[in-house]
Amino acid sequence: MKLSCLQENLDRGLNVVGRAVAIRTTLPITNNVLLATDQSRLKLAATNLEMAISCWIGAKVEEEGAITVPARLLSEFISSLPSEKVDIGLSPQTKTLGLKCARFEARISGVDAKDFPPIPKVEEGIATKVEVEALRQGIAHVVFAAATEESRPVLTGVNAEFDGDLLTLAAADGFRLAVYKLPLAQPVSQKTEVIIPARTLAELNRLVAEQEEAVEITVNPDKGQALFRLKDIELVSQLIQGTFPNYAQLIPKSYNTRAVISVADFLRATKTASIFARDGSGIVRLVVAPGGEMTPGKVIVSARSEEIGDDVGEIDATVEGEEAKIAFNGKYLTDVLSVLHEAQVALETTNPSSPGVIRPVGVDNYLHVVMPMFVQW
């Protein structure tokens, strides 16, 4: 293997695939990054067995070949180089990768590319396309609601339902549920539902940040893997097997109280209250008070901590229905309020022990359901 490429391209490529390098693993080779010539390009790839990222960069290939070397070592070395041409050569007998850039020269011992875990090929199956911005918003609005705790594996993923030209993303961790609908740029041939690991989507969201072209999504026929193809980047993810809860039945059909409030005010009041709720389990109490003839309605956001103190904040609100009291985990409120772009949000509640619903005002493609905490009032 003999080739040359630009330092900044190699650096960027290594950063892209670096997200998939295994950190703690029983399979040491997954700490490595694969370098392989692919026609007139250099292919970089890394995998942690749940997800694999491949990236192609332009290169002048003189001799074909492939090798794997420790990802972190190579990445740190390349990023410290001046932005000039890098000459790469492999000595096949010693499996040593030689790198030369400006007046720096390095040799890195590698492991045979044949030992690298094969990256699943996803070539046929259900294929579609999504615009980058819509996908980014979709992921951002739901991914935080997935479970981080692994006792129910399906909840660590995001349920993706492809139906016609609509993609519905849903995530739930047993205490909250986020559902976001976005258009598909290319309709699917048949309705398909898969569970994508939330970690994969979080990585995908970082990768698409620098993209402009629509993202191609392919789910293989046995629904074992999904491929996300970006410009010069491919991400292949294992899909979580299992049945996602039927979340439609968890969404309250009605409410007793509905308050429309400013997202920014609500977020500030919640964050302020959370400071006082930190010592306990983050309980933030909301009192929704309807207005009188002359006075506007309001939402009173408070928190108290035994031995420490308490805090009360008020937000103007347009309240419909009766007075309501409900307590939430403050983190659940800040999580959802932080991703909303809309100016106003509607909070719908039924009683102190039934789920509350948060909907941005003016759009109807997102809703968030949060289970309250049961407290003494």
Using rule CB under 8 A, residue 117 touches other proteins: no
DSSP 115: G
Q: How far is the CB of 150 from other proteins (least distance, A)?
A: 8
Q: Which residues contact residue 26 at a Cβ distance below 8 angstroms, ignoring those fewer than 6 apart?
A: none
The reply to whether 36 sits near other proteins by the rule CB under 8 A is no
Q: Of 297 and 355, which has the nearer Cβ to other proteins?
A: 355
CB of 355 to other proteins, least distance (A): 6
Distance CA 320, CA 265 (A): 19
Nearer to other proteins, 24 or 114 (CB): 24
306 binds other proteins (CB under 8 A): yes
297 binds other proteins (CB under 8 A): no
* Part of the chain binding other proteins (CB under 8 A), chosen from 45-53, 100-108, 313-321, 364-372: 364-372
Question: Which of 245, 268, 316, 365 is the binder for other proteins (CB under 8 A)?
Answer: 245
Long-range own/partner contacts, residues 216-219 (CB < 8 A, 24 or more apart):
216/127, 216/128, 216/129, 217/127, 217/128, 217/129, 217/130, 218/122, 218/123, 218/124, 218/125, 218/126, 218/127, 218/128, 219/122, 219/125, 219/126, 219/127, 219/162, 219/192, 219/194
Nearest to 269 by CA among 207, 311, 226, 326: 311
- Say how far apart CA 22 and CA 311 lie, in whole Å: 44
Nearer to other proteins, 13 or 355 (CB): 355
Which residue, 190 or 243, has its beta carbon nearer to other proteins?
243
**x/- track of binding to other proteins for residues 192-231 (CB under 8 A):** ----------------------------------------
Q: Is 369 in the site for other proteins (CB under 8 A)?
A: yes
Are 107 and 97 in contact, with CB atoms under 8 Å apart? yes
Range 150-169, binding other proteins (CB under 8 A) = 150-151
Q: What are 76's two structure tokens? A: 């740190």
Residues of this chain that interact with other proteins (CB under 8 A) are 148-151, 172-177, 245, 250, 280-283, 306-307, 329, 353, 355, 369-376
